[in-house]
Amino acid sequence: MSERFAKLDPPQRVLMGPGPSDVSVRVLQAMAAPTVGHLDPAYLAIMDETRQMMRDVFRTKNELTLAVSGTGSAGMEACVANLIEPGDEMIVCVNGVFGGRMRDVAQRYGATVHSVEADWGTTIDPAQVANALQEHPDTKLLGIVHAETSTGAHQPLEEISRLVHDAGALLLVDAVTSLGGMDVRVDDWQIDAIYSGTQKCLSCPPGLSPVSFSPAAVAAMDARKTQVTSWYLDMSMLRNYWGSDRVYHHTAPINMTYALREALAIVLEEGLDQRIERHQRNHLALRAGLEAMGLVWVPEHTLTTLNAVRVPEGVDDARVRSRLLGEYGIEIGAGLGPFKGKAWRIGLMGHASSKRNVMLLLAALESILADENANLARGEAAVAASRAYANA
C-alpha cells in the first residue's frame, strides 16, 4: 500500500542571518531548468561561461578558477589539501571560528601550523604577520580570513599580502562572506588561493564553492612530491574536467551550476562597484538605526555584509531571535564562541541587502526590545536610518 506524503511547504523567511541569504526567483527558476548530462556539450558551454563569470567577480585572470562541488568549507579544504604536503609549514591567522577551522584543516593534512592570534572581534595586525614570517622562514603558505563571519570583522589584506610575498610564501584567503558584496581583488592583492561560497553575497543556494588559484599556486601544486590526500578535491584531476580536456572526474551538480551561473549574471549585470556600494549604503543605514536604538557594534573594523552587535544588558538573546522568526519571519544569527548569548549577527548579503529589509528589521527589533524592557528611545531607529539613506 502506497503512502501519501504532505506537500513540501517550507516557510518563506527573510534571511538576515550569517547565511544562507535570500535567493532571487530568477536563480530558483534557473535551478528548475532541465537536467542534462555532465558531459553534454550544452552543459560544458555553461561551465565555461560560469568560469569566466567567476573570474570577473574575483577580479582575476587566473586560468584555474572553478566551482568545487560542496559548500565553502569544501573550498577551504580543497585549497589546503592541494597546497599543503605533510611537514610543510603554514601560518594561520586566527581571530574567530573560521580562522580556527582553517588551522584545524591544515593540521589534519599534516602541516606544521604556526598560529597568529588576535582577540575575537579584532583584526590581525600586519606586524604580527611580519614577526611570524621572520620567526618561521620556511613558511610555504599563510592563511587568513578576509570576512570573519563569526565576529563581523573585516580584515585588510594588501599590506599582509606584501609581507607574505616578500617572504617567499603563498597567500590563502577565505572570502566566503565578502565575495560579491565587498571589494575582493585577487590579482591586485596578489592572492594565490581563494575560496568562497554560493550562499552568502552571491545569493545562490548553498552547494558550490568558487575557488581560484594563481599561477604560483598552480606551480606549487605541480611541484608536489606526494599525491593530494583527498581524491575528491584533487585539483590535478578537477582542472582536467573544468579545462579543455573534459576528463570525467565526478558527476557535477548540474542544476546547482545553473543557479550559480544565474546568480553571477545578476551580480555582473548590477556591476561589482555598484553592488559593493549598495551593501555599504544599507549597512550604514542599519548601523545608524541600531545605534540610535542603543546597540553597540562588536568589531571596530566591521563588514558591511555581516553586522555583529552586542545584545543589550538584561535582554534574552534567544527569546528575541525566536520572536523575530516566529512573529516577523526574520532570521538573524546568534553569537558564537565567547560571544554566545552576547551578540547578534545580522546579515545584509546579496539579495537580502535592501532598504526594505533594513527598515523591516529595525521596526521589528524595536517593538520586541520594548517588550523586553530594554532601555531605548522609541521611534529613533527609523528616523536615523532614513536620514542615513537621504545622505547617502
How many independent structural domains does the chain possess?
A: 2
Residues in Cβ contact with 106 at an 8 Å cutoff, skipping those fewer than 6 apart: 80, 84, 90, 92, 113, 143
Q: Indicate if 209 and 100 belong to the same structural domain.
A: yes
pLDDT at 373: 83
339 lies in which domain range? 271-391
For 90, counting Cβ atoms within 10 Å of its Cβ (0-12 exposed, 13-18 middle, 19+ buried), the class is buried
Return the DSSP state at 352. G
Average pLDDT estimate for 84-111: 98
Q: Indicate if 56 and 201 belong to the same structural domain.
A: yes
Q: Indicate if 259 and 342 belong to the same structural domain.
A: no
Could you tell me the CATH number of the domain that includes residue 118? 3.40.640.10
Cβ(305)–Cβ(278) below 8 Å: no
Q: Indicate if 301 and 384 belong to the same structural domain.
A: yes
**Phi and psi dihedrals of 90, rounded to 5?**
-135, 135
CB atoms under 10 Å from CB of 110, counted, come to 14
Residue ranges with strand state E in 38-146: 64-69, 89-94, 112-117, 139-145
* Last residue within a domain, chosen from 269, 295, 324: 269
Average per-residue pLDDT in the chain? Answer: 96
Q: Indicate if 156 and 301 belong to the same structural domain.
A: no
The pLDDT tens digits for 111-133 are 999 999 999 999 999 999 999 99
The pLDDT tens digits for 257-278 are 999 999 999 999 999 999 999 9
Q: Indicate if 348 and 242 belong to the same structural domain.
A: no
Q: Indicate if 260 and 340 belong to the same structural domain.
A: no
Pick the closest to residue 206 from 114, 69, 364 (CA basis). Answer: 69
Q: Indicate if 308 and 245 belong to the same structural domain.
A: no
Q: Indicate if 195 and 309 belong to the same structural domain.
A: no
- Report the percent of the chain where pLDDT is more than 90: 95
Which band of pLDDT confidence, cut at 50, 70 and 90, is reported for residue 305? very high
Which band of pLDDT confidence, cut at 50, 70 and 90, is reported for residue 377? confident
Poorest-pLDDT segment among 55-64, 124-133, 244-253:
244-253
Q: Indicate if 301 and 227 belong to the same structural domain.
A: no
Q: Indicate if 252 and 169 belong to the same structural domain.
A: yes
Q: Indicate if 247 and 280 belong to the same structural domain.
A: no
pLDDT at 374: 83
Verdict on whether the full-model pTM lies above 0.95: yes
